[in-house]
């Protein structure tokens, strides 16, 4: 009798444990996951240089295994931009899904529910139950100086049955400082005879055209501001000429300007353009004097340095100093520079 009782107890215990397991299978969550971003590198970064960071997925008892992720990463489009090929924004890393990892889709689009910019990534691979690893590396280029931040604003994860997996996103954005010195030059381009008197902001070295040149190609044509300051923006590493030009002046040239790691590392100060090349043949001579005489006392002359955004003005080169009149001041400048040839070397 005792034996029967023991057998009954064992059977009952076994059945009870089965039913408890069944209850557990129904009520326990099917695992959780989280998404985080690594700190961007390098930090500080530079304009025109690459910035990258990783997306990490951590799966925790996800059954029957996490197999797909749909992730929106917000980026600051004023400070960073995608590489030349948008497809190279996302690089699959076989750390979370293993070698089966693939990126099904990467697009640059608006973030869900806002006008912010997002990289939208869809990736999938072999089922992962409990595992943490990098699923993708994102690449951007520094665009402007500032503190650029990235954050996951939406993420949908699914298990091998297609069921959503509850997940939490990294609460904090990851940020990188983009260096303001990259692309800027501690130099100025002035013009002999200026400041003129009729410019919009009362005396200016504005609107001298400046660019970098290398291997017969001109890069990043821009204009000086009223103080003659300028930025050359993005330049690939290499050695350049800096070229400055304004109507009525000889060009000035700075050679051997080195850009390394996205920064202009050559040190150079100001240059002053020499006035008097009215006909633009890179030499100041009697032909230029004649042009001044021919236009002597012309008034109300439009000047490029006073135009909005340095645009759409056919500057009269005989009004060398941009005061709106061709007179003895212009004649004095050309006469003082007779015989000079351009481009002149970079010097005050």
Least distance between Ca ion and beta carbon 315 (Å): 4
Least distance between Ca ion and beta carbon 185 (Å): 25
Q: Which is nearer to Ca ion, 122 or 331 (CB)?
A: 331
100, 202, 281, 293: which one binds Ca ion (CB under 5 A): 281
Least distance between Ca ion and beta carbon 281 (Å): 4
The one-character DSSP state at 247 is: T
Instruction: With H, G, I as helix, E, B as strand and everything else as coil, classify residue 288.
Output: helix
Task: Please tell me the distance from the alpha carbon of residue 139 to that of residue 142, in angstroms, as a whole number.
Answer: 10
Q: Which is nearer to Ca ion, 54 or 322 (CB)?
A: 322
Closest residue by Cα to residue 158 from 226, 104, 81, 228: 104
Distances from the Cα of 173 to the Cα of 23, 49, 69, 151, 283, angstroms:
40, 21, 19, 5, 58
Residue 4 falls in which region: left (phi positive, over 0), alpha (psi -120 to 50) or beta:
alpha
Least distance between Ca ion and beta carbon 230 (Å): 19
Q: Which is nearer to Ca ion, 1 or 308 (CB)?
A: 308
Task: Please tell me the distance from the alpha carbon of residue 28 to that of residue 26, in angstroms, as a whole number.
Answer: 6
Least distance between Ca ion and beta carbon 253 (Å): 17
Q: Which is nearer to Ca ion, 204 or 321 (CB)?
A: 321
Closest residue by Cα to residue 217 from 202, 200, 236, 198: 236
Residues 244-273 that bind Ca ion (CB under 5 A): none
Least distance between Ca ion and beta carbon 295 (Å): 10
Q: Which is nearer to Ca ion, 89 or 326 (CB)?
A: 326
Task: Please tell me the distance from the alpha carbon of residue 150 to that of residue 320, in angstroms, as a whole number.
Answer: 50
SS3 content of the chain, % helix, strand, coil (to 5): 15, 45, 40
Residues 16-75 that bind Ca ion (CB under 5 A): none
Interface stretch with Ca ion, choices 106-114, 122-130, 157-165, 326-334 (CB under 5 A): 326-334
Q: Which is nearer to Ca ion, 107 or 281 (CB)?
A: 281
Instruction: With H, G, I as helix, E, B as strand and everything else as coil, classify residue 151.
Output: strand
* Residue 330 contacts Ca ion per CB under 5 A: yes
30, 220, 222, 279: which one binds Ca ion (CB under 5 A): 279
Closest residue by Cα to residue 95 from 125, 62, 122: 125
Task: Please tell me the distance from the alpha carbon of residue 135 to that of residue 276, in angstroms, as a whole number.
Answer: 63
315, 342, 344, 346: which one binds Ca ion (CB under 5 A): 315
157, 322, 334, 337: which one binds Ca ion (CB under 5 A): 322
Interface stretch with Ca ion, choices 50-58, 183-191, 264-272, 329-337 (CB under 5 A): 329-337
Task: Please tell me the distance from the alpha carbon of residue 289 to that of residue 320, in angstroms, as a whole number.
Answer: 12
321, 333, 334, 344: which one binds Ca ion (CB under 5 A): 321
Q: Which is nearer to Ca ion, 142 or 275 (CB)?
A: 275
Least distance between Ca ion and beta carbon 329 (Å): 5
* Residue 81 contacts Ca ion per CB under 5 A: no
Least distance between Ca ion and beta carbon 280 (Å): 6
The answer to whether 320 touches 305, Cβ cutoff 8 Å, is no
* Alpha helices (H) in 151-285, listed in sequence order: none
306, 323, 334, 346: which one binds Ca ion (CB under 5 A): 323
Q: How far apart are the first and last CA of the chain?
A: 115
Q: Residue 282 is encoded by which pair of tokens?
A: 């890179």
Under the rule (CB under 5 A), what is the footprint of Ca ion?
A: 277, 279, 281, 288, 315, 319, 321-323, 330
């Amino acid at each position: 009798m005792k034996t029967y009782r023991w057998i009954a107890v064992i059977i009952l215990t076994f059945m009870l444990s089965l039913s408890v397991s069944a209850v557990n299978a129904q009520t326990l969550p099917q695992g959780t996951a989280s998404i985080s971003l690594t700190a961007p590198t390098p930090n500080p970064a530079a304009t025109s240089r690459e910035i990258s960071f990783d997306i990490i997925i951590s799966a925790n008892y996800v059954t029957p295994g996490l197999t797909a992720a749909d992730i929106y990463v917000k980026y600051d489009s004023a400070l960073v931009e995608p590489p030349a090929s948008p497809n190279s924004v996302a690089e699959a890393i076989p750390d979370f899904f293993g070698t089966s990892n693939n990126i099904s889709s990467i697009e640059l689009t608006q973030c869900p529910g806002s006008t912010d910019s997002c990289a939208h990534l869809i990736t999938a691979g072999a089922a992962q139950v409990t595992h943490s690893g990098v699923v993708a590396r994102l690449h951007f280029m520094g665009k402007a100086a500032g503190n650029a931040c990235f954050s996951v604003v939406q993420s949908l994860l699914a298990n091998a049955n297609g069921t959503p997996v509850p997940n939490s996103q990294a609460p904090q954005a990851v940020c990188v400082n983009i260096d303001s010195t990259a692309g800027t030059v501690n130099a100025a381009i002035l013009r002999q005879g200026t400041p003129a008197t009729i410019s919009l902001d009362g005396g200016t070295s504005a609107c001298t055209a400046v660019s970098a040149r290398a291997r017969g190609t001109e890069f990043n044509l821009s204009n000086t501001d009223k103080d003659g300051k300028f930025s050359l923006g993005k330049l690939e590493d290499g050695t350049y000429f800096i070229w400055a030009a304004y109507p009525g002046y000889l060009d000035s040239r700075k050679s051997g300007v080195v850009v390394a790691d996205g920064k202009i590392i050559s040190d150079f100060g100001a240059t002053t353009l020499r006035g008097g090349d009215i006909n633009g043949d890179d030499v100041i001579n009697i032909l230029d004097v004649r042009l001044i005489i021919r236009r002597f006392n012309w008034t109300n002359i439009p000047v490029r340095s006073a135009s909005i955004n340095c645009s759409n003005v056919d500057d009269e080169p005989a009004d060398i100093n941009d005061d709106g009149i061709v007179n003895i001041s212009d004649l004095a400048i050309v006469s003082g520079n007779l015989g000079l040839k351009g481009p002149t070397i970079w010097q005050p």
